[in-house]
Amino acid sequence: MVEFLTTKDVASRVELLVRKAEKRIILISPFIRCWDSLFNRLIEAAKKDVEVIIVFGKQKMSISEYSRLQNIANVKLYYFENLHAKCYFNEKEMVLTSMNLYDFSEQNNFEMGVAVSKDDNVYTEAFKEAQTIKNLAVLKYDGAVSAKYQQKKNMTQKPASEDGYCIRCGKPIPKNSSKPFCFECYLRWNEYANREYEETFCHCCGKRKKGITIDKPLCLNCGY
């Protein structure tokens, strides 16, 4: 069965397929900036052990959105430079549409699309193409691997050695000016590797300070 969708229909149908997913959600969109209700749906789906796969492209995702998506348990983020397709599906239904997974598009654009059930041949063919896109894309972040690494790190790390602070999130970490990020924040920083990007916290005192970067992780009071 194929059903025509308007802009608001697309947005609500994507949220519905996320809510009803039992095993897997795959979201393919060149530009990603989830509206709040969709993001919360993804968080809830991940809590039910639903695998969340996101493929984006054209240009790098904003640092803020990239960091926010890493709060979704077990999320996998893929990058495919030549991506133009927009396709969202779970194991039972698919939405093919002109609309990016972008809050501005959902609120301001005139879009259209179709919802396709698994029983329709269109679903099967589109699923194969979506799998091809994912296989050609580059895995940028794997939440499951990150979680296992952090769990192992927490088990082996001595609390007494945590006398420094991550310059991005402020979490206590071993003091080492050459490694002023926690593991998760380092992964986010390394996506762009901008050494001039201004961070938030002093690595030594843990206070919010201006002018903090990976090369200057200490505030003026703590000294470089």
**Model pLDDT for residues 189-214, shown as the tens digit of each residue:** 988 889 999 999 999 999 999 999 99
**Model pLDDT for residues 132-161, shown as the tens digit of each residue:** 999 999 999 988 665 554 555 555 554 444
- 98-100-101-102 Cα dihedral, nearest 10 degrees: -130
Confidence (pLDDT) at 145: 63
Asked if residue 150 belongs to a domain, the reply is no
C-beta contacts of 115-118 below 8 A and 24+ residues apart: 115/2, 115/3, 115/5, 115/13, 116/1, 116/2, 116/3, 117/1, 117/92, 117/93, 118/91, 118/92, 118/93, 118/94
Token pair of 185, please?
A: 């924040």
Same domain membership, residue 170 and residue 119: no
- In what side-by-side order are the strands of the sheet with 138-142? 2-6, 112-117, 93-97, 87-89, 24-28, 51-57, 75-80, 138-142
Residue 116, amino acid: V
Confidence (pLDDT) at 159: 47
- Give SS3 for 56: strand
> Containing domain of residue 103, as a range?
2-145
- Whole-angstrom distance, CA of residue 180 vs CA of residue 217: 7
Q: What pTM value is reported for the model?
A: 0.68
Same domain membership, residue 178 and residue 98: no
Task: Name beta bridge partners: 117.
Answer: 93
In terms of C-beta density within 10 A (0-12 exposed, 13-18 middle, 19 or more buried), how is residue 142 classed?
Answer: middle
Structural domain count, the chain: 2
Last residue within a domain, chosen from 125, 145, 165: 145
Same domain membership, residue 48 and residue 122: yes
Last residue within a domain, chosen from 145, 167, 189: 145
Per-residue pLDDT of the chain (224 residues), as tens digits, is 899 999 999 999 999 999 999 999 999 999 999 999 999 999 999 999 999 999 999 877 888 898 899 889 889 999 999 999 999 999 999 999 999 999 988 889 999 999 999 999 999 999 999 999 999 999 999 886 655 545 555 555 544 446 899 999 999 999 999 999 998 899 889 888 899 999 999 999 999 999 999 999 999 888 75
Asked if residue 85 belongs to a domain, the reply is yes
Confidence (pLDDT) at 89: 95
Q: Where are the beta strands (DSSP E) in 143-211?
A: 164-165, 172-173
Same domain membership, residue 190 and residue 141: no
Confidence (pLDDT) at 144: 64
Confidence (pLDDT) at 98: 97
Asked if residue 224 belongs to a domain, the reply is no
